[in-house]
């Protein structure tokens, strides 16, 4: 294999596999990312990068300690009716940037089965533009008709510095308010 700047070609386009969904059966809101980044994959945890704003935002909006241990944070989401998953089950991507996901390697998650198992779901929130575009292009056309509200949110990724924490928090606060 050819070596390029201390990485192999295979390393540059690593096959990455996503995580199982975090969801209670009565979930009302589903938050979707695109694919976990390198820090998350290494730790086998959603939003593990220390500068990702997801946990601080979710904690503030839903009223839990974002510094709590990971299982407690996941339980807080489930208790609040919020499910967490990614659009993609697998893909090839060097590093963590969504822009580097190889389009010819996308494997979407099984949303038809997920939606069947979560009949109370009313809203799908996209954590960033890439998650929204991947879902609308590769998932939505294959789903049976079901009335769901779709909300595009600013990415909580540290790579998305165009929006301030306060602006992200305001958008996420509205989106994570569980409808009655």
Active site amino acids? 52
Q: Which two tokens stand for residue 37?
A: 């980044």
Neighbours of 42 (CB within 10 A): 10
| CA proximity to 125, closest of 86, 96, 160 | 86
Q: Is 151 helix (H, G, I), strand (E, B) or coil?
A: strand
10 within 8 A of 1, measured Cβ to Cβ: yes
Q: What is the DSSP letter of 118?
A: -
Q: Could you tell me whether strands 107-108 and 123-127 are parallel, antiparallel, or unpaired per DSSP bridges?
A: unpaired
Tell me the C-alpha distance between 54 and 47, whole Å. Answer: 7
């Amino acid at each position: 294999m050819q070596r390029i700047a201390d990485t192999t070609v295979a390393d540059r386009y690593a096959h990455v596999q996503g995580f199982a969904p975090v969801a209670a059966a009565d979930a009302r809101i589903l938050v979707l990312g695109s694919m976990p980044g390198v820090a998350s994959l290494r730790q086998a945890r959603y939003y593990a990068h220390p500068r990702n704003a997801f946990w601080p935002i979710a904690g503030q909006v839903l009223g839990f300690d974002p510094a709590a241990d990971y299982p407690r944070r996941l339980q807080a989401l489930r208790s609040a009716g919020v499910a967490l998953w990614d659009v993609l089950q697998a893909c090839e991507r060097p590093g963590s940037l969504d822009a580097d996901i190889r389009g010819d390697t996308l494997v979407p998650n099984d949303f038809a089965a997920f939606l069947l198992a979560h009949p109370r779901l009313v809203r799908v929130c996209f954590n960033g533009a890439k998650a929204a575009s991947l879902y609308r292009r590769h998932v939505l056309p294959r789903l049976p008709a079901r009335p769901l509200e779709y909300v595009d949110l600013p990415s909580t990724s540290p790579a998305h510095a165009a929006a301030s924490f306060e602006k992200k928090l305001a958008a996420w606060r509205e989106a994570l308010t569980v409808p009655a």
